Structure 1
């Protein structure tokens, strides 16, 4: 297969790290400041597990009966993190938390082989910590039994994730019109290996910040609600960027808005104490939504659920700001950026989205 010059450069950048001499930046470092696909200087990379628990079966382990559980242990329910630190990293690292049916893989290469946010923000000199939440992906070791769902459901998610209305893409959508890209998109979906436990997820990601210190949390979809709860319990979270939250909107007790019905079901806000809610008012927050979200009710569930989610997000941002916080909602079509799906970080214009987010972080003193 013939490779483009860009493909060659990307592979060489991984295989042959550049070295800065005498404190001067090599030419490749210019790309790390923003756009571009030159060689990338990575100072450090690795991985670790945090959080979780250990289950022990009573008894004494007998090496002659290795399948007997007596005296044996199971380490599970942890989060798994892969990290990369660029040359001359910015003060605050970025923690990437995937959404429903996804894993940390979603932040890496896009379905059509371009760089995802994991690398685009590394090029902007953020240390990037990409996690798999407990009981998902590389953190699949669970202490709770569950049945893995094997339903044929990909056409539902095609609509739900706003690529289009199966089998047709939306006109102008920022997803490649390429069967191989769609194949890769479907194959990045992963199951939960155990029950989804909000407290477990919150504590696992909080443990990431306990280990790495102060940082910025970027969440997607289902993780957004859990991310706000993480920020409420861990002051090391210094800012949150939430990409298309779909649930988990927290409001002070007595201020929860009325339920919002849709053809996909009813969306409810969640009550928390005013003291906990106010912790979210101490950090900058940005909430992003893409395109093709209807303004009027529709009987197509994969579209109508986003109508109420965007409406609830507006109320949530208003509540944060009403209590003295600093929250911003960015509906991309309203700022002239059109065609984005639920996966802003892997859409065809993901560089432009990354640039917009980086600008927000800079304005808020987080870069």
Structure 2
């Protein structure tokens, strides 16, 4: 046996070293896109909110009809990677949805929340005020049901039907038609529709309580990129107009609105801004005017000293993106492109 080991020694050692080297290549990497995920910490908290004292909180015998509740606070879930050196990202969802927008895709793939953590960005995923885990005020409903207020005082709450949302999210021009080459995973649409929730936007004061809460959060983080989508697209701009402190950059993904080109542009001077669009936008009567509005804003903001840019994903080699581009089949390619844009435009921490 000793003679065999002596003869085989050099070959055996080379084999072992090769195996170790291969093992080292295959070893889990905390920053890899498909290995074990390693984070320094995670948690959740609330920002903003106010107390409401009401006599119309319940008609059920088991619960007191009056008292004090907290409403309009913004829920925040965060994950911080080990040795994070990039600016934190605050992800803000759109109409009829919650922070789930940025999590696992309907067909079970990695969401942007996890992807950007793996790329070294701390992520903060919010639920807008009165949405998801951010409490709404039920007193207006209870007052009407209890006969203490007329029906026209009911809060304006709405839900988006699947058939109508189909065109809004640009899966196709109308339900159930599909745009050629559209990348949303329609085979998992039943799972996607389960993300939809009642929207309390029109029952809230102006500005939306989410806006000052975003300002508080950005200042708490000491420099964050606000990443909005659709309905919330205007919120980062409104936040910057309220207070620039803590805002390191803005990424508006298919915003429902941009600031008017003739509005005050001073809050955006020197600020990195990206307005990002998917595909089929000019084909949509709903979205084409918003594309023009945002194009005019970018031009006006740059004249005032901003560092603004508008990008169509098809123009950077990523065609077929729907309005829900963070959940499309090529969503991680889009995320990788966006990570590169942020690295090139926003200073690291």
Aligned to 1:333: 314
Equivalent residue of 1:55, what SS?
Answer: strand
Aligned to 1:160: 168
- Alignment equivalent of 1:90, drawn from 85, 88, 91: 85
**Aligned CA distance change for structure 1 residues 113 and 198 (closer, same or farther; 3 Å):** farther
Aligned to 1:190: 197
Once the two structures are TM-superposed, the CA of residue 68 in structure 1 deviates from its matched residue by 4.3
Equivalent residue of 1:47, what SS?
Answer: strand
- Alignment equivalent of 1:173, drawn from 182, 189, 213: 182
* Correspondence 1:78 to 2:78: no
* Correspondence 1:40 to 2:28: no
Equivalent residue of 1:294, what SS?
Answer: helix
- Alignment equivalent of 2:238, drawn from 214, 223, 229: 229
Equivalent residue of 2:133, what SS?
Answer: helix
Distance 2:240 2:295 in 1: 19
| Per-residue Cα deviation, 1:196-227 (whole angstroms, up to 9, x for no partner) | 43422211222222333221110001111122
TM-score w.r.t. structure 1 length?
0.76
Contact 1:214 1:237 in 2 (8 A): yes
Once the two structures are TM-superposed, the CA of residue 365 in structure 1 deviates from its matched residue by 3.5
**Aligned CA distance change for structure 1 residues 184 and 197 (closer, same or farther; 3 Å):** farther
Contact 2:260 2:293 in 1 (8 A): no
Aligned to 1:105: 100
| Per-residue Cα deviation, 1:20-61 (whole angstroms, up to 9, x for no partner) | xxxxxx842241xxxx21111011011001101012359xxx
Distance 1:293 1:176 in 2: 19
Once the two structures are TM-superposed, the CA of residue 313 in structure 1 deviates from its matched residue by 1.1
Distance 1:144 1:208 in 2: 28
Unaligned runs of 5+ in 2: 1-26, 56-60, 141-154
Aligned to 1:250: 260
Q: Which has the larger radius of gyration?
A: 2
**Aligned CA distance change for structure 1 residues 75 and 27 (closer, same or farther; 3 Å):** same
Unaligned runs of 5+ in 1: 1-25, 59-63, 256-270, 296-302
Aligned to 1:264: none
TM-score w.r.t. structure 2 length?
0.80
Relative to total residues, which structure has the larger helix share, 1 or 2?
2
Query: How many positions carry a matched residue from both structures?
Result: 299
